[in-house]
Amino acid sequence: MFGIFKKKTEKEKLQEKYQQLQKESYELSGTNRKLSDQKTYEAEEVMKQLEKLS
């Protein structure tokens, strides 16, 4: 019930950012491959940060 007031942890924020970047990369893959690759790279960097936290 009170989950809406709970602050997100750094790990949760990074996971959301990773998922968003992966989604953007997929959507761009049909129209702009270079931008898609850039988003994939950014997602990989976020994943590295997640691994450091674990």
Task: Identify the pLDDT of residue 5.
Answer: 78
Token code pair at residue 29: 């893959």
Amino acid at residue number 27? E
- Map out the domains of the chain as residue ranges: 8-53
Reported as a single tens digit per residue, the pLDDT across 7-43 is 889 999 999 999 999 999 999 999 999 999 999 999 9
Which pTM does this prediction carry?
Answer: 0.84
Instruction: Tell whether the model's pLDDT for residue 1 goes beyond 60.
Output: no
Written as one string, the DSSP assignment of 4-24 is: GGSPPPHHHHHHHHHHHHHHH
Between 4 and 14, name the one with better pLDDT: 14
Instruction: Tell whether the model's pLDDT for residue 4 goes beyond 80.
Output: no
